[in-house]
Chain A
Amino acid sequence: GAVVSQHPSRVICKSGTSVKIECRSLDFQATTMFWYRQFPKKSLMLMATSNEGSKATYEQGVEKDKFLINHASLTLSTLTVTSAHPEDSSFYICSARELGRRDQPQHFGDGTRLSIL
């Protein structure tokens, strides 16, 4: 089945550091990937839609200069949290659906736990 891989699974770093998270579709291609944020015991909140070869679309209230998204190929999207601060600590999850397969659901990565000290 469709597999989405996220890396790293956990990051602990100092305040002010920029952190890059990768999301790969391992056995399918995706022109669109999605980035979510999840707080403890809360649901997933969509942050942005990552579009291959074009600019990402951000949800209301999400700072595009803080959360940089690059979707350089049909199998890779990256989320960079720039100058991260403790309030950026969270669980970040990506998802993707196979190109041209409207009958298929979105598949999710296993998330990245980001902790900013």
Chain B
Amino acid sequence: EDQVTQSPEALRLQEGESSSLNCSYTVSGLRGLFWYRQDPGKGPEFLFTLYSAGEEKEKERLKATLTKKESFLHITAPKPEDSATYLCAVDQGAQKLVFGQGTRLTINP
């Protein structure tokens, strides 16, 4: 059974303090790993798709990387507006996504 585990569950950082969020996965044939951002009371907003080990993608202060067993979302010099829940998901086929529990990130000014 495909599984996605995210850590930590919650993370508090000071503005400018860089860190990484982890997403470990077990899946029978990776068809894509996705990172989404979710603000309270809203639906997930797409950030990145990664397909193969070694792949990296960047967007502003965020950078996602992928290995055969896990993905990291690195956040560099975060700002308070980066506070959100970050969700990781894998495609288990037929476009069906399995989500992790998410990491609630809080950036204090």
Which residues of B sit under 8 angstroms from A105, Cβ to Cβ? Answer: 34, 46, 49
Sorted nearest first, the 7 A-B pairs with minimum C-beta distance are: A108-B43, A43-B99, A105-B46, A44-B99, A110-B43, A108-B44, A43-B101
Contact B87 A43 (CB under 8 A): yes
The interface of chain A, by Cβ under 8 A from chain B, is 4, 6, 32, 34, 41-46, 49, 93, 95, 97, 105-111, 113
Contact B96 A46 (CB under 8 A): yes
Which residues of B sit under 8 angstroms from A34, Cβ to Cβ? Answer: 95-97
B42 is an interface residue with CB less than 8 A from chain A: yes
Q: How far is the CA of A49 from the CA of B100 in the complex (A)?
A: 19
Residue of B nearest to A32 (CB): B95
Q: How far is the CA of A46 from the CA of B97 in the complex (A)?
A: 8
Q: How far is the CA of A41 from the CA of B43 in the complex (A)?
A: 13
Identify which of B43, B87, B96, B101 contacts A49 (C-beta below 8 A). B96
Which residues of B sit under 8 angstroms from A110, Cβ to Cβ? Answer: 41-43
> Given the known A-B contacts A107-B46, A111-B42, are A42 and B95 also in contact in the complex, defined by CB atoms under 8 Å?
no
Q: How far is the CA of A56 from the CA of B99 in the complex (A)?
A: 21
Task: Quote the shortest CB–CB distance from A24 to chain B (angstroms).
Answer: 13
Task: Quote the shortest CB–CB distance from B47 to chain A (angstroms).
Answer: 9
Task: Quote the shortest CB–CB distance from B50 to chain A (angstroms).
Answer: 11
